[in-house]
Chains A and B, each alone.
Chain A
């Protein structure tokens, strides 16, 4: 059976990477009511979450 952590991990890692790269290409991009770099911070969280899922999947494969 498919280990769901792998597709989920890849999806969030890719989405996070897209957001981070986008925030680097357009560093001044902000939403109307906040000065926070929402894409960068949210992208980083998604990238870490995706990596965590992939790490857990890899660890269970080794066990």
Chain B
């Protein structure tokens, strides 16, 4: 892939704008709240698109295109089953507790609802997770740019990290959120033409259906048995593992995304944030997955395009960049690469801004230096931003040395969110849940997940203690690990809660269902109310699933 001055001009223009936005917003940052939580002042359309974009990292965009080529339209389950229902749930049912509790972070909510140890466990695991996620993503991007464009690995890492640092340091969370919206627009406008042209070249949707096996163009039809579909999963594992545990565990409890909704300027806006985000989320498969499916069809039809080979199979991870090289001339190629860079930056900025808030409020203020002035916490927030970027760079280099460790860590991160949703579900909707119950449940759920991995094997991985079950794919193994983690956490939390003393109801007001005032929506237009919005999304979701069944 060869870039010309016009491609570089677009890349430089983009860098100038993201830093310019941070520079303009620096004047509005005068307190730690404005730096770390955006002062709860961001309009709903911005928080909604940022809610989506913070999750839209480069690995997501490249990975979903690769999955499209590998698994076909079944990959859409990661959006239509594995994201949208959870987004509706968090908006309608959970946001009143997050926003209404006045907590500044998800770990702080856990402190208010349960106790200090539950908050500490979540804060520390989340802080470590965000740093490693950010570093792994940075490593993947630099490696890809090195492979595709021949860019120097070190320069790619340092340049991208320096730009993210510049705008997050200057404008804090508001700057990260504003830039995420610009990045979202760029991702949509940068990749949509690729989806349109590549699918058209493969003969449209009917052309894809003719050229590919039927299980590549049906999302539900071949889910009766794991052997019938390329993902190697069956309907129950998919719906319970991905659609319920993993999806709700991420979208309903991960501070990285919840932070965007909590930055909204009112309770109503916070509730509508994930609901409005669900509309573009439903459409994303057409932009990021369809090109992958088209790449496989183009390879099979002998069009002149072929997916690069890796060993005996295809290197699916190169589907997106090789399609760009074939369908984008210089100019649009610059836009596509800038969009890829933007998706990386939105993911990294999301991690850094979530990390600095959790570290400053939940670890530093919580344990290391309570009762300091707000000015002090603002300074700590800024220093943590620099440290967060520095530590992300360190983990990126760690990934170059210990690739297997990184694979393992990614697996461990998968364990952490799965039980957490059981903790929140019980904590928000069952007032009898206790701090001891929540903490024990989280630990037991995570251990349950680890043991399931150590006792089962999929594609040669896992089974370090014994092999009591073989899964047809790693994906099936991950879904079942999540189901075990969630069920263990649920069971242990209930049992220990019943055996320990509950919190007095006076301490639970605003934190638990039944003890929290329902937001008053009298006289509010239907399109500003969460439930009608959620119903529209749900109907559209059913329609999409039926259309591609």
Is chain A's interface secondary structure helix, strand, loop, or mixed overall?
Answer: helix
B193 lies within 8 A of chain A by Cβ: yes
A1 touching B21 by the CB < 8 A rule? no
**Bitwise interface map of B from 310 to 341 toward A, beta carbon under 8 Å scored 1, else 0:** 00000000000000011111111101000000
User: A12 CA to B188 CA in the complex, in Å?
Assistant: 12
Q: Report the count of interface residues on B (CB-CB < 8 A).
A: 35
**Bitwise interface map of B from 13 to 56 toward A, beta carbon under 8 Å scored 1, else 0:** 11001001100110010000000000001000010000000000
B14 touching A11 by the CB < 8 A rule? yes
A42 touching B181 by the CB < 8 A rule? no
Residues of B within 8 A of A10 (CB): 17
Is chain B's interface secondary structure helix, strand, loop, or mixed overall?
Answer: helix
B182 touching A33 by the CB < 8 A rule? no
Closest residue of A by beta carbon distance from B265? A1
Residues of B within 8 A of A34 (CB): 197, 201, 327
CB of A51, distance to nearest CB on chain B (Å): 14
CB of A10, distance to nearest CB on chain B (Å): 8
A7-B17, A22-B6, A46-B189 known; A2-B331 Cβ under 8 A: no
CB of A53, distance to nearest CB on chain B (Å): 9
CB of A11, distance to nearest CB on chain B (Å): 5
Residues of A within 8 A of B25 (CB): 2
Partner of A42, one of B9, B41, B330, B335: B335
Total A-B contacts with CB atoms under 8 angstroms apart: 88
Interface size of A as a range:
20 to 34
B305 touching A38 by the CB < 8 A rule? no
Partner of A31, one of B189, B326, B335: B326
B14, B185, B333 interface centre (most CB from chain A within 10 Å): B185
B304 lies within 8 A of chain A by Cβ: yes
A4 touching B193 by the CB < 8 A rule? no
Residues of A within 8 A of B329 (CB): 29-31, 38-39
CB neighbors of B among A37-62 (8 A): 38-39, 41-43, 45-46, 49
User: A46 CA to B189 CA in the complex, in Å?
Assistant: 7
A42 touching B193 by the CB < 8 A rule? yes
A15 touching B201 by the CB < 8 A rule? no
B10 lies within 8 A of chain A by Cβ: yes
* Residues of chain A at the chain B interface (Cβ within 8 Å): 1-2, 4, 7-8, 10-12, 14-15, 18-19, 22-23, 29-34, 36, 38-39, 41-43, 45-46, 49
* Residues of chain B at the chain A interface (Cβ within 8 Å): 6, 9-10, 13-14, 17, 20-21, 24-25, 28, 41, 46, 174, 178, 181-182, 185, 189, 193, 197, 201, 303-305, 325-333, 335
- Contacts A7-B182, A11-B182 aside, 8 further interface pairs with beta carbons under 8 A come to A2-B28, A7-B21, A8-B181, A10-B17, A12-B185, A18-B6, A19-B335, A33-B305
